[in-house]
Amino acid sequence: MMDFWTDKLMTRLYIITSLFLLGCSGQVKKNINHMVFNESEILEQLDLAFNGTPSKYYPEARPGDVTYNFFLDLESAYCVVASSRIHLYADSTRWAIVFETAGYETRSFDAEITLLYIGNCIKYPVDKYPERNYITNARNILLIDKYEFERIRNKDGLKMEMFEFIGQNTKEIKIHDTFIPFESNAKKYEQLGITIRDYDNPKKLIGYGDFIKYLNETNPRTIRAKEDEIRNHIPKDLPQLMTIDKFHFISAYEKTNLPSQQETYQLLAKVLVSKDTSNWKPTQSPNNSWKNWLSGHL
């Protein structure tokens, strides 16, 4: 009789133990992205983005899905880059780097903010279509749409004066749902180092990209992402450590210079792991200003 009850008790204990272990294993799997991280992991993730390789933190792709992992680029052929910043977020188990640029997109005829996300807690944007999904670490925020650019486009004079130039009689331009006064005096742009095109532009009209650069120098808030916009793809409770406006940048097209070998990204990793912003002590001079890079040339 005792053997019967002993066997029954052991069977019940086995079932309870098995269920407990299964629950624990599920919890571990659920929290695999939220383990203690180190500088090596951060630099590894930066290197992957630099090479366009999706990381282990990307959502699982189906056959036929397309994945993109973009890295900071101040020399984009299709965007006149006017501004660049780096945002850092971290707690004891989660971290995120958000690269932010803003500029005029030459192929789509609009001005946009581009946010690039790298980290272990990113809610990666997924654009879903019947035939396939597109998974990416990038999200764009529209600043000036093509209809507004068409409204303010110069419509008088030579044919070339009508392409991506703003009419001199324009008084204000709608940016991010707010109207901003427009400065048409080319001399004020040139005083800021913005070169106004000479050929086929006898009236010294202001180009679309010129205007975004001018805003970066005179009213940068108008072309910067808001905090709630940045947090659309990172946890709402993840603490912000710092935003870096000036930093040393090496061309993303020099593929032998991985981020893991560069001081800028090594310092970013150190700040994220330590949660101490005083570790941001670059020895290299900042050069991320648009004045140092050629972009939007196609």
| Each residue's pLDDT tens digit, 230-249 | 999 999 999 999 999 999 99
pLDDT, mean over the chain:
90
User: Can you give the pLDDT at residue 97?
Assistant: 98
The full set of domain ranges for the chain reads 34-145+221-292, 147-207
Average pLDDT score over residue span 159-181: 93
Average pLDDT score over residue span 102-112: 96
Average pLDDT score over residue span 189-213: 95
Report the range of poorest mean pLDDT among 17-21, 222-226, 271-275: 17-21
User: Can you give the pLDDT at residue 161?
Assistant: 81
pLDDT at residue 178 is higher than 70 = yes
User: Can you give the pLDDT at residue 103?
Assistant: 98
Amino acid 184 reads: S
Average pLDDT score over residue span 243-267: 97
Q: pLDDT tens for residues 149-167?
A: 999 999 987 777 889 999 9
pLDDT at residue 28 is higher than 50 = no
Residue linked to tokens 């290197």: 47
pLDDT over 90, % of the chain? 82
Average pLDDT score over residue span 65-79: 97
pLDDT at residue 80 is higher than 90 = yes
Torsions phi, psi of 125, nearest 5?
-60, 135
Q: What residues have CB less than 8 Å from 182, skipping those under 6 apart?
A: 152, 166, 170, 171, 172, 173, 211
User: Can you give the pLDDT at residue 200?
Assistant: 87
Label residue 18 by pLDDT band (50, 70, 90). Answer: very low
pLDDT at residue 189 is higher than 50 = yes
Q: Which helix (H) or strand (E) holds 41?
A: helix 39-50
Average pLDDT score over residue span 274-296: 98
pLDDT at residue 6 is higher than 50 = no
Supply the pTM of this predicted model.
Answer: 0.87
User: Can you give the pLDDT at residue 133?
Assistant: 94
